[in-house]
Amino acid sequence: MLEQFGIIPVNYATLVSALAGYKYPKDKISSLEKAGDLIRLKKGMFVVSPKVHNQPVSKELISNHLYGPSYISFESALSIYNIIPERVHTMRSMTFKRGRKFSTPLGNFEYTSSEIKYYNIGIHQKIIDNKYAYLIASREKALCDIIVATSRLRIQSVKAMQEYLEEDLRIDFSALEKCNIGIFKQCIEFGKKKTELTQLYKLLRQ
């Protein structure tokens, strides 16, 4: 029965409906959770355990469902694109709702708030094996998001921006060739830290 949900997070009401054949569906949900067949992500939201459907869970998909609207960004997106070498332990996303943090059995998820006009720039849908999809920032938007959301970051020159990307973020510049410069320009128009974003635009336009 649980296999029908696969790796897609499912809410409590949907589970109750799927278990309508049981006399006490809510008790059945509790027993499935205790048995490890259901993993609670937050109040009212679960994901089916990999031991049931024999598929790895997708933290990216969970991130989109756990709190939204949202898209994966920051170092999490850069790691997915193989632009930075480090593995990222907290899945970071952008939302136009208020910021939130969630700690789940499958990892930590963090959501940073932005204005809606800035939020809407540079979002892609990434389709995995024609089975599921999630929303993620473009490479350009993920970089802009890091700069916009990093407190006390002050960069006044192209050289300083290059040093920041190389030394602090350890960016692989070869992965940023043929950037969509238009995304940087939109982020400068609608985002905060216009000076820093302008230095990023100048650097990657070269």
149-185, pLDDT tens digit by residue? 999 999 999 999 999 999 999 998 888 888 899 999 9
Domain housing 6: 2-52
Residue with tokens 């969970």: 62
Mean pLDDT, rounded, of the chain: 94
Containing 114, the helix (H) or strand (E) segment is: none
Measured in whole angstroms, how far is the alpha carbon of residue 174 from the centre of its chain? 23
Q: What pLDDT sits at residue 206?
A: 78
Looking at the structure, do residues 86 and 6 belong to the same domain, yes or no?
A: no
Tokens of 91: 């899945």
pLDDT at residue 1 is higher than 90: no
pLDDT at residue 91 is higher than 90: yes
* pTM for this prediction: 0.91
Looking at the structure, do residues 43 and 64 belong to the same domain, yes or no?
A: no
Q: In what order do the strands lie in the sheet with 45-48?
A: 10-11, 45-48, 38-42
Q: What pLDDT sits at residue 95?
A: 98
Instruction: Check: CB of residue 92 under 8 Å from CB of residue 60.
Output: no
pLDDT at residue 188 is higher than 90: yes
Mean pLDDT within 116-145: 96
Which residue, 20, 35, 52, sits at the end of a domain?
Answer: 52
Looking at the structure, do residues 82 and 132 belong to the same domain, yes or no?
A: yes
Q: What pLDDT sits at residue 86?
A: 78
pLDDT at residue 142 is higher than 90: yes
Identity of the amino acid at 18: A
Looking at the structure, do residues 161 and 199 belong to the same domain, yes or no?
A: yes
Q: What letter does residue 138 receive in the DSSP assignment?
A: -
